A and B are shown apart, each in its own frame.
Chain A
Amino acid sequence: MKKTIYVIAFSILFLSACKNDKKQTESHDASMEETNMHQQDEHSSMDNSSMQGDLKSTTEKNSSSSEIIDAYLQLKNALTEDSKDKAAEAGNKILTAFSNFDMTKLSDEQHMTYMEIMENSKEHAEHIIKSPIDHQREHFEELSKDVNDLIELIGTDKTLYVDFCPMYNNNKGAMWLSETETIKNPYLGSNMPTCGNIQKKIN
């Protein structure tokens, strides 16, 4: 009997603990943004020297990547505006864009890498759809690498800029792709909209 009461007490504790969980992480997220900005950094910033000068590169003129890139840019722009909801919307578009992508035009070598990029990107998009904004940004960082690799793999007919902000994530820095020459930072948003420089111009 005594044991049963313990068990009941435990279960109730467990139930209430689970309910609290979400709230706690959310308020934590909100405070994260501030602390992130003020934290002293132990790591030196990434080597920036290689990024100077306006590197130009051309890719194969391929429009089949356009829907994915457009959805990605929509996400990027939502994050520059600090809009979690618009970012989530764009996350959905990214999922659709990957589903619509015509894989039959890929070569055998491209196919493997494409599949990996797609699988990874979709997972990031799913997180972006359901997460608070700083977690959206963490996944956006990874997604940016995927989209950049996709462009290297199959090309684009768009003119794009590869930007890099050395301050994000405790001065570890992060890259993103943009359709405009002016820097608008998606990682720090309105806190620091101009952080970043152009690493490379595509097309």
Chain B
Amino acid sequence: MLFFFLIVFVGIQLVPTNHNQSSVISKTEFNNYIVVPKNIQNILKNSCYDCHSNNTNYPWYNKIQPASWFLEKHINEGKKELNFSTFGDYSKRKQKSKLKSIINQIRDDKMPLKSYTLIHRNTKLNELQKKEVIEWFTKLKDSV
């Protein structure tokens, strides 16, 4: 039984997945497009960029199936909703909408996804981080 499981497990490692990594940093990347303070940058990079940018930071276990598949699905869906790497390409109207949505998602503890913070413990935002991010994004939203 264990043997069977191992065979399947090894087998699925051979299924290829696309890695979400790009060395090009676009002009429209959030960070270039808007002046983002270092502390906010760090929070976003650490907690959001894996699914909402063109660069995922892959720890070893995310390269292993089936974890890798789930992450890939989240990345595809996440980037469709919000891609920090191309934020500047959005219309002003869409930028405003997205900023508002970011604030709501963080306020309601909907992001980062629970399935993700369960494993990546250090990506969950604590109350202080939430407050910092929400305050900063609220100011930004009102200025766009």
A120 & B97 in contact (Cβ 8 Å cutoff)? yes
For chain A, residues 96 to 151, give those with C-beta under 8 angstroms from any C-beta of chain B.
116-117, 119-120, 123-124, 138, 142, 146, 149
Size of the chain A interface, CB-CB below 8 angstroms: 26
A116 & B67 in contact (Cβ 8 Å cutoff)? no
Q: Which residues of B contact A2 (CB under 8 A)?
A: none
Q: A8-B5, A17-B119, A20-B115 are in contact. Are A25 and B110 (CB under 8 A)?
A: yes
Interface residues as binary, B98-137 with A (CB distance below 8 Å gives 1, 0 otherwise):
0011001000111001110011000000000000000000
Residue of A nearest to B108 (CB): A32
Contact of B64 with A by CB under 8 A: yes
Contact of B94 among A14, A18, A21, A116 (CB under 8 A): A116
Q: A119-B91, A138-B104, A142-B100 are in contact. Are A25 and B114 (CB under 8 A)?
A: yes
Interface residues as binary, A24-35 with B (CB distance below 8 Å gives 1, 0 otherwise):
110010001000
Q: From residue A175, how far is it (CB to closest CB) to chain B in Å?
A: 14
Contact of A146 among B93, B108, B109, B119 (CB under 8 A): B93
Q: Which among A4, A18, A123, A124 has the highest number of chain B CB atoms within 10 Å?
A: A18
Contact of B6 with A by CB under 8 A: yes
Q: Which residues of B contact A14 (CB under 8 A)?
A: 66-67, 70, 115, 119
For chain B, residues 4 to 22, give those with C-beta under 8 angstroms from any C-beta of chain A.
5-6, 9
A28 & B108 in contact (Cβ 8 Å cutoff)? yes
Size of the chain B interface, CB-CB below 8 angstroms: 25
Q: Could you tell me the distance between the alpha carbons of A142 and B64 in the complex, rounded to whole angstroms?
A: 40
B66 & A15 in contact (Cβ 8 Å cutoff)? yes
A21 & B93 in contact (Cβ 8 Å cutoff)? no
Q: Could you tell me the distance between the alpha carbons of A14 and B65 in the complex, rounded to whole angstroms?
A: 11
Residue of B nearest to A146 (CB): B93
B64 & A123 in contact (Cβ 8 Å cutoff)? no
Residues of A participating in the B interface, judged by any CB pair closer than 8 Å:
4, 7-8, 10-11, 13-15, 17-18, 20-21, 24-25, 28, 32, 116-117, 119-120, 123-124, 138, 142, 146, 149
Can you list 22 A-B contacts (CB < 8 A)?
A8-B5, A8-B9, A10-B67, A10-B119, A11-B65, A13-B118, A13-B119, A14-B115, A17-B114, A17-B115, A17-B119, A18-B115, A20-B114, A21-B113, A25-B114, A28-B108, A28-B109, A28-B110, A32-B108, A120-B97, A123-B94, A149-B93
